[in-house]
Amino acid sequence: MASRPDDTRVTNGGLDRSIVLVGMMGVGKSTIGRLLAGKLNLEFVDSDEEIEKAAGMPISEIFERFGEPGFRDGERRVIGRLIAEGPKVIATGGGAFINDETRGLIKEKCRSVWIDADLDVLVDRVSRRNHRPLLVGKDPRQVLTELSEKRTPFYQEADIHVRSDSGPHARTVNQILEALA
């Protein structure tokens, strides 16, 4: 039986730095990150999960207790620790790359990949689950439009830019692998 192209594993090619995925909520950073890490034979980590472990509470509670600035400070420290641990694939929260210090650290020590998607794709994806603090009690389309306008100039500073659509995430992973080669 012939193997399918999306089942192929590649070595990490001697990557000496982490690959950090940035982009809007709902773009697929975590799912794409897991697939990409498997292809590159690297560890995958989701910075939001690591923040929750470090804080001992869910992100929604961190936002409630410390506000967005307190969350962003903890996020920066956790991402710094993850980067210092050595090469891996890191999926970041949608606002991580907006923070000047976090962005500077990622740009200096990692390969950054902006995963971009059309607004309709994002709205569809984020509407499936109700766990995002910035969307609670708000219209997802309006919030995503406003966030995109603010964040896109920062995302454009990433080393690599790929588009995700409503198709399989493996297609986006392949785009990233081609750009890394």
Which CATH number belongs to the domain containing residue 121 in this structure? 3.40.50.300
Chain segment 99-135, per-residue pLDDT in tens: 999 999 999 999 999 999 988 888 887 776 666 656 6
**Helix orientation angle between 59-84 and 47-55, rounded to the nearest 10 degrees:** 110
Chain segment 15-69, per-residue pLDDT in tens: 789 999 999 988 899 999 999 999 999 999 999 999 999 999 998 899 889 988 8
Binding-site residue set for Mg(2+): 30
- pLDDT of 128 reads 67
Binding-site residue set: 26-31, 48, 72, 94, 132, 151
- Asked, for residue 106, whether it belongs to a domain, the answer is yes
Q: What sign results for the dihedral spanned by CA atoms 51, 13, 162, 153?
A: positive
- pLDDT of 68 reads 85
- pLDDT of 135 reads 61
How many domains would you assign to the chain?
1
Binding-site residue set for ATP: 26-31, 132
Q: What is the pTM of this model?
A: 0.86
Residue 172 has pLDDT above 80, yes or no: yes
- Asked, for residue 3, whether it belongs to a domain, the answer is no
Binding-site residue set for substrate: 48, 72, 94, 151
CA separation for the pair 15, 5 (Å, rounded) = 22
- Asked, for residue 74, whether it belongs to a domain, the answer is yes
> Which domain, by its residues, includes 127?
17-170
Q: Please, which residues have CB within 8 angstroms of residue 98's CB and are 6 or more apart in sequence? A: 150, 151, 154
